[in-house]
């Protein structure tokens, strides 16, 4: 067999003995699940009976459209020192009354986070679990437990040690966010991500159109 025309066959040594033979492309087989996934009419979609979870802070509930949706990935962005961690610890403490909460803080030690929590909520709730490790595989192993709420403070400090880019780089942030989104959707757990906005304003959503 030869991919192109040859005057002399390298196999038998004869001239003009090569015959063209068309190769049929292999039949495309559909990937599993492709046939089942079809568009459905909007009006036929059963309205989901989403049980929103109150955060304990009415203003936060209002911003979230009535509370946290299980399976939603929420990003809390803001300038350094604006109070992101404080707000997240308050939410964690409130949610821990209903079930175990995972608070991932790769920036601060366990002791620092405990002290801070005790300042915010005097009797530190039993149900808050701390993870002070930024490795994505460590986090994903921790996600195997059934959590009521997961808070990652901050997105930029979680990284995949096998990836070549540095923690906090665009590709790492994208990877970590997509893995956490997949987790949130699959397990129907609300996940809060804290995002830093640095002094140059990178990480800040860009004003679009006629935004003030
Ligand atoms: N609502 C608030 N009112 C007054 N002080 C607050 C409030 N929230 C947070 N603080 C104080 O502001 C300081 C910074 O808060 P915090 O560490 O939560 O901010 P942050 O946004 O997480 O900061 P960083 O970007 O460094 O992680 C803390 O000393 C905290 O006690
Ligand atoms: Mg913080």
Which residue ranges form the domains of the chain, and what is each CATH number? 58-196 (3.40.50.300)
Return the pLDDT at 25: 66
Ligand 1: atom nearest CA of 120 is 31
Return the pLDDT at 196: 84
Question: Ligand 2 centroid to 81 CA: how many Å?
Answer: 7
Ligand 1: atom nearest CA of 86 is 18
| pTM value surpassing 0.75 | yes
Ligand 1: atom nearest CA of 80 is 25
**Strands of 101-105's sheet in order across:** 73-78, 191-196, 149-153, 101-105, 128-131
Residue 73 parent element (H or E):
strand 73-78
Burial 4-31 (b: 16+ CB within 10 A, else e): eeeeeeeeeeeeeebeeeeeeeeeeeee
> Ligand 1 pocket test: which of 59, 81, 120 has the largest number of ligand atoms within 8 Å of its C-beta?
81
Return the pLDDT at 199: 57
Q: Whose CA is nearest to atom 25 of ligand 1?
A: 80
What percent helix, strand, coil does the chain show, rounded to 5?
30, 15, 55
Return the pLDDT at 211: 37
Return the pLDDT at 207: 45
Return the pLDDT at 204: 53
Return the pLDDT at 178: 95
Integer Cα distance of 84 and 63 in angstroms: 15
- Intervals of the chain under pLDDT 70: 1, 23-28, 30, 48, 198-212
Between CA 194 and CA 199, with CA 196 as vertex, the angle to 5 degrees is 165
Integer Cα distance of 41 and 107 in angstroms: 46
Show the tokens assigned to 18. Answer: 């090569």
User: C-alpha dihedral over 87, 79, 60, 123, to 10 degrees?
Assistant: 0
Listed residues: CB within 5 A of ion ligand 2: 85
Return the pLDDT at 208: 42
Total Cβ atoms within 10 A of residue 138: 16
Return the pLDDT at 198: 66
Return the pLDDT at 26: 66
> Ligand 1 pocket test: which of 83, 154, 195 has the largest number of ligand atoms within 8 Å of its C-beta?
83
The binding-site residues of ligand 1, defined as CB within 6 angstroms of any ligand atom, are 78, 80-86, 196
Total Cβ atoms within 10 A of residue 108: 16
CA torsion sign for 112, 116, 117, 123 is positive
Return the pLDDT at 210: 43
Report cis status (omega within 30 of 0) of the bond before 154: yes
């Amino acid at each position: 067999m030869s991919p192109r025309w040859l005057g002399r066959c390298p196999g038998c040594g004869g001239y003009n003995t090569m015959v063209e033979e068309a190769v049929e492309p292999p039949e495309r087989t559909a990937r599993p699940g492709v046939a089942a996934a079809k568009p459905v009419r909007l009006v036929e979609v059963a309205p989901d009976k989403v049980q929103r979870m109150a955060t304990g802070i009415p203003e936060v509930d209002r911003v979230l459209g009535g509370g946290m949706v299980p399976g939603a990935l929420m990003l809390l962005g803001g300038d350094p020192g604006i109070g992101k961690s404080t707000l997240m610890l308050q939410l964690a403490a409130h949610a821990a009354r209903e079930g175990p909460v995972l608070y991932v803080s790769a920036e601060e030690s366990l002791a620092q986070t405990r002290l801070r929590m005790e300042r915010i909520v005097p009797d530190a709730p039993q149900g808050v679990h701390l993870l002070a490790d930024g490795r994505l595989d460590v986090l994903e192993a921790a996600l195997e437990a059934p959590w009521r709420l997961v808070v990652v403070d901050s997105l930029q400090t979680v990284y995949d040690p096998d990836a070549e880019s540095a923690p906090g780089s665009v590709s790492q942030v994208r990877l970590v966010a997509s893995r956490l989104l997949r987790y949130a959707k699959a397990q129907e757990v609300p996940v809060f991500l804290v995002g830093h906005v640095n002094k140059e304003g990178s990480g800040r959503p860009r004003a679009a159109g006629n935004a003030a």
